[in-house]
Structure 1
Amino acid sequence: MRLQTEVKLYTMCMIQDGSRILLMNRPDAKGFPGYIAPGGKVDFPESIVNGAIREVREETGLIVKDIIYKGLEESCEPNTGLRYMVFNYLATSFEGELLENPPEGELVWVDLEEALKLPMQNWFKRRFPLFFEKGTFELSEIWDEKTGIVLEETVKQYPARLPQLAGFAD
């Protein structure tokens, strides 16, 4: 008998303003405590990118304009059939004002060079630099929830530009 699978779709959007980025300091009570970029669940039937734009607006009050797809991080748990997929974006322009009472945690503009010194989840710290590199990334792991052991891992980075194909103009 084949295990039934469940797919959960999420987004994360790093917002950059020059040398600063916007992070959220999530309290323990919200889960994933520490500094993190805005994001959340994709509602059916919205597109992934529209889910990212909506989540940023709900969590920060900002409306992102120039949004770039940066990559996918996924985790699969073979015992439960869970596939958790996070689509990651970088926004380099926005409009609006930050919420005074954000629902997910305090919003803080942080210097990009200082960000990794802040307390954050290991999985976010690992993914953080990939938002700012050229091209896209794919991080995938198969893990055992009971033991906390990663059984298999795939890490790929793709160039910003594919090699020129013969017969195709630039």
Structure 2
Amino acid sequence: MSTRIEILTMCMVWDKLHGKVLLMNRPDRKGFPGYIAPGGKVDYPESIVDGAMREVEEETGLKVTEITYKGLDEFCDPEQGLRYMVFNYLATAFEGELLQNPPEGELIWIPLEQALNLPMQDWFAERFPRFFNEGTFERSVIWEKSTGQTLKETFKVYSDKVLQ
């Protein structure tokens, strides 16, 4: 069986000055309904970080000017030969105006401490705090889509303490 790899990004946009994050309310017809950070597929041959910044601009109208890599969420399904990799970023500086008619769903700025009260997918609620924690993370899940069963999960947080 051949392996198929899909590379995606997710980028949390954080207005630190006002203590708010930008989320979009994805409708059911788009998949993953509920509130979520901007993101999507990386176009070949663009770099992963360029893909993250492009997705933010396409979905929100904002141009990212400062971005930090936060970690990797990886999902593997041996039945399908699929490896689905989501590279996560935190944007802390940006310019521009929000789109009036965003393509992926309504955009809202919400205080960071209130964001988890919004309706969202369980996996996004679990990932949300990781954007704001020290260091970077790596999560790998091997699961069977047909049964919905997790076969193995690995989670690791990395710090820069080795450089100190």
Aligned to 2:11: 13
Q: Deviations over 1:25-82 (max 9, x none)?
A: 0000100000000000000000000000000000000001110000000100001100
> What is the match of residue 161 of structure 2?
162
Higher strand share: 2
1:115 match: 115
Q: Where do 1:5-154 residues align within 5 Å?
A: 5-18=3-16, 19-154=19-154
Q: Deviation of residue 163 (structure 1)?
A: 2.0
Cα separation, 2, equivalents of 1:69 and 1:139: 14
Aligned mates of 2:107, 2:162 — CA distance in 1? 40
CA distance in 2, matches of 1:86, 1:147: 22
Which protein has the larger Cα radius of gyration, Structure 1 or Structure 2?
1
Deviation at 1:162? 3.1
Alpha-carbon distance between aligned partners in 2 of 1:140 and 1:120, rounded to the nearest angstrom: 21
1: CA distance between counterparts of 2:90 and 2:131?
6
What is the rounded CA distance, in whole Å, between the counterparts of 2:94 and 2:64 in structure 1?
4
Cα deviations across residues 3-32 of structure 1 (Å, max 9, x unaligned)? Answer: 200000000000000210000000001000
Runs of 4 or more consecutive aligned structure 1 residues displaced over 6 Å after TM superposition: none
| Residue identity matched to 2:13 | I
Unaligned runs of 5+ in 2: none
Taking only the aligned residue pairs, the percentage that are identical comes to 65
Residues of 2 paired with 1:101 and 1:140: CA distance?
35
Q: TM-score, normalised by structure 2?
A: 0.97
Stretches of structure 1 lacking an aligned partner (at least 5 in a row):
165-169
1:113 alignment partner, SS class: helix
TM-score by length of 1: 0.94
